Structure 1
């Protein structure tokens, strides 16, 4: 989270209009890059080791696409072979960019118009940074993100009711359709192959009348919502009641509202998941630790490689 003085040396509170802030002041200047021919497995490893949400694909010195963690998740869900898929196969292109001297309000409009949550920053055609909804939300706490769609099948919104940073009253939402691919991938990953989730004929004979998603998979939508709070989110605990089933293919929405500030960066949230008809299917509470990461550790810029 930005400190009381921004990178330009001016106090944010001293500005007459926070929209005077430009992308240069809020972007992440270290950009992780790969070449188009980089195998998807290496891209996944790079995302994990660099602890970033996106990698820009460059051909020579020219940025040509971007691979986000949502793109990687889509590969896994589709069961595509990571060693036979390249960055060029899974990147989002043509590449949407913003200029280093664009205002942050204009940058937010670009993200919203294109349904993306992060975008490379160019300076006279040269790649110099990445800016995301998260950085912009620190400066635009009242910005409505309800129409921002991630690169995958999920949509999220963050409503900051007070000042930049997390506080009581803030609400984060995440919505995603739990597809047949999601359910089968979860079963493979966890070993939970209950036929209620996988076998149409068997599930039709149960009280549910058809296949339903795993309860823990549905609860995972809460985790996805919490991960979109500003700052580094550490999930400490969760109490949960599974109130109703979720049919395979139904869209579910997690709604997480900050109800208590516990001190030391810890917050308690009411966590609810609703099905496509608006009915509650999961209800509970979570406690998270928010590390605002005002001081980012220095990292080494990575150039494209195979």
Structure 2
């Protein structure tokens, strides 16, 4: 099919070039300026053909997927909401701000293409998933969940059923997310919790992040602040997720005995969020409650973790693009 499309494009280009030259031979005196302008037509056709050929070569090697630039916008929106509300307020889940942040974490950008690489990338992933479910089925499910229109839960579940049979930890986090969405046809918080717990026990960071949020707000499970902090800390230390560090700080700042820990995670959040204005103001408020020597010691204590997170980021370890590229190159 690909060869047929390329052949048609080449034939069309040849016809355009031939007609342009013929037009110029017969009418060059009368329409010299128009004929000169028509010389751009073959050039445009040539550029389009090069893009198409490059596209097919790239997709045959595997999708070139990168982190979605809109994820940072969703993160900033979430931090702004949290900065203006008490830590115990669960309205974020109801209003969808938390959900939009999670979708930002799941989404990935595919880049410019002439023939719509995103659609063909999903087809490519689905084809690979039939023979090698893990990890291709999870990435195909993410395509269905993060498409521009409404998430297609049915298609995502169809893909994830392939990964679950192979015990892919990432599949359980995605399944839990689907069952936890109020507009999902299979909305069931208790089932979502079971999937999150299974994924968390198998080191899946996305499951742990969601499970911590559910424990904090008592969504589908009994509220447990200690377990919420435990899972938030695991995600913040292992994956550098800003939301996990911020939630951990917001919980701890309510306890006067944990102000130092709250400042520690607020400082890490500020650095990792590239000094988000809301986080900077929140950190300054906590700093006023501590002694100067305490602040200095806490910031020094945070530097090893910040260096580790910077190293992971420079190597794309833990990021969407790194996980996908590693998966596709196995």
> If the length of structure 1 is used for normalisation, what is the TM-score?
0.28
- Between 1 and 2, higher relative CO (CA 8 Å, sep ≥ 6) is seen in 1
Higher helix share: 2
Higher strand share: 1
Larger Rg: 2
> If the length of structure 2 is used for normalisation, what is the TM-score?
0.27
